[in-house]
Structure 1
Amino acid sequence: MSLDIVRSGLLDGVEHGFFGRKGGVSKGAVAGLNCGLGSDDDPIAVETNRRLAADAILPGAPLASVYQIHSPTAVIVTEATSNDERPKADALVTDRKELLLGIVTADCAPVLLADVEAGVIAAAHAGWRGATAGVTDQAIAAMISLGAKVERIAAAVGPCIAKASYEVDHDFAERIMADDPENDRFLGEGPTGNPHFDLEAYVVARLAAAGVRRIQATGLDTYQLEDRYFSYRRATHRIEPTYGRQLSLIGLAS
């Protein structure tokens, strides 16, 4: 079964991939490789899709994930837990080989990070709440606690909603400007007169501000690329009953 996997040249030497919706066994509104445990989908289909994706990156490796809550919280993991025992967090960090780290997104920005020399990796789910609260900062701090050095970390930001598709309200714009007046550079006026937010550029800037020197963003818009990606906002605009989630994975081979 053919899967749509985007990889970053900055993460060469680390097994990783940002998955799209192509392939998989899910049907209906979430047809394809829906990997969201919280979606209104057959749980068996979701588990099958997650295993298909995992085996495309590190065959047979266990998949560690978190119960995502749009927080800045990063956790260090040493093994995969059952779905019911997943920690509530939005980033995972490990130095264990043959363990995949996975996060799901449906417009939010997936971020994969690695210090190859130290053998430390991380995966982060950066929606606007987590991104502005510092989820990537906490992921980097956890990596450093395991021996990574920030100047060696490479980071890739995967497919997410693009500025042209991401209309926000004026209250949001005011809040993010209150955080830092320079955040004006991530805002722009949309065709309706409401502000638009550049989530991808914001996440890249937060990574750079934390000291990460090598950063790559895919520039792929989950909202517009309907055939390739699930999108929460697109599903909401169309009043669809549910929406799928794509998976992003990173792991260290033995």
Structure 2
Amino acid sequence: MSVEVIRARALSGIAHGFLGRRGGVSSGVHAGLNVGRGSDDDADIVCENRRRATEAVLPGGHLVTVYQIHSAEAATVLAPFAEDDRPQADALVTDRPGLALGILTADCAPVLLADRQAGVVGAAHAGWKGALGGITDATLRAMEGLGAKVDRVAAAVGPCIARASYEVDIPFVERFCVQDRANERFFADGGPGHARFDLEAYVAHRLAAAGVRQVEALGLDTYADPDRFFSYRRSTHRSEADYGRQISIIGL
């Protein structure tokens, strides 16, 4: 099976792709295109999956990723760095051709961004904590540092856990509402003492509020589609020993 590359209309003409689990060589609970070095999967197999993912999106490109910590930190990448030298951050930006910026997810929202005119691209990992903390704002600021203009940026929010699959407790809801009471609109009723959170809509809102005029949300639920995507929450609910990670890539 070839690597499945999901593309966004908003980023047409830019080398990019949201990848799931189709087209890889992992087996067992990691079956498919698992790119997570932090998983229990065989390191050589993960390396081959990462190679396949990069070639599917930016042939000949050099994949760079960060050590993701659910922060609002964005790293500017001007040259490849060793795996051991990965910065602790949750977004990358560059204006250098040949660098494939990669973000790993397993329910969190991957965000890919581009200012075509400036020749600047970015990739962000937006879990609920990073999204609330402003990871997309930080990514846009870093892109501006390379000459991008926010009102020229196009952004796409890739496969992530959907509201129907994302039940949270009331203290979770309160974290968002303390920051902005209007954030109530991103929650729907759940079970007793719980609500359901629309992470994708919240991330899209943060991008639009920052001035991004073209935002596309793909509407793909990682939790609900086990044949296509890895999901941390689904693996937890199934009491599986580990889980795979998928990658989203953008480059020039």
TM over 0.5: yes
User: Following TM superposition, by how much is the alpha carbon of 1:6 offset from its aligned partner in structure 2, in angstroms?
Assistant: 0.7
Q: Which has the larger displacement, 189-198 or 18-27?
A: 189-198
User: Following TM superposition, by how much is the alpha carbon of 1:192 offset from its aligned partner in structure 2, in angstroms?
Assistant: 4.7
8 Å contact from structure 2 (residues 10, 214) kept in 1: yes
User: Following TM superposition, by how much is the alpha carbon of 1:169 offset from its aligned partner in structure 2, in angstroms?
Assistant: 0.9
Aligned to 2:119: 119
Aligned to 1:98: 98
Which portions of structure 1, spanning 4 or more consecutive aligned residues, are displaced by more than 2 angstroms?
none
1:134-166 CA distance string (max 9 Å, x none): 000000000011100111000000000000100
8 Å contact from structure 1 (residues 61, 98) kept in 2: yes
Aligned to 2:86: 86
User: Following TM superposition, by how much is the alpha carbon of 1:119 offset from its aligned partner in structure 2, in angstroms?
Assistant: 0.1
Aligned to 1:49: 49
Aligned to 1:65: 65
Aligned to 1:18: 18
Q: Structure 1, unaligned stretches of length 5 or more?
A: none
TM-score by length of 1: 0.98
Identity %: 62
8 Å contact from structure 2 (residues 5, 57) kept in 1: no
- SS at the partner of 2:168? coil
8 Å contact from structure 1 (residues 164, 190) kept in 2: no
8 Å contact from structure 1 (residues 93, 120) kept in 2: yes
User: Following TM superposition, by how much is the alpha carbon of 1:80 offset from its aligned partner in structure 2, in angstroms?
Assistant: 2.2
Q: Which has the larger displacement, 190-199 or 28-37?
A: 190-199
8 Å contact from structure 2 (residues 112, 123) kept in 1: yes
- SS at the partner of 2:220? coil
Aligned to 1:167: 167
Matching residue's letter, 2:200: E
Aligned to 1:177: 177
In 2, the alpha carbon distance for the partners of 1:58 and 1:106 equals 22
In 1, the alpha carbon distance for the partners of 2:80 and 2:209 equals 31
Matching residue's letter, 2:46: V
Aligned to 2:32: 32
Number of residue pairs matched by the alignment: 252
TM-score by length of 2: 0.98
1:212-250 CA distance string (max 9 Å, x none): 000001100000011100000000111100000000000
Q: Structure 2, unaligned stretches of length 5 or more?
A: none
Equivalent residues in 2 for 1:104-253, closer than 5 Å: 104-192=104-192, 194-252=194-252
Q: Which has the larger displacement, 3-12 or 188-197?
A: 188-197
- SS at the partner of 2:93? strand
Alignment RMSD: 0.8
8 Å contact from structure 2 (residues 5, 56) kept in 1: no
- SS at the partner of 1:168? strand
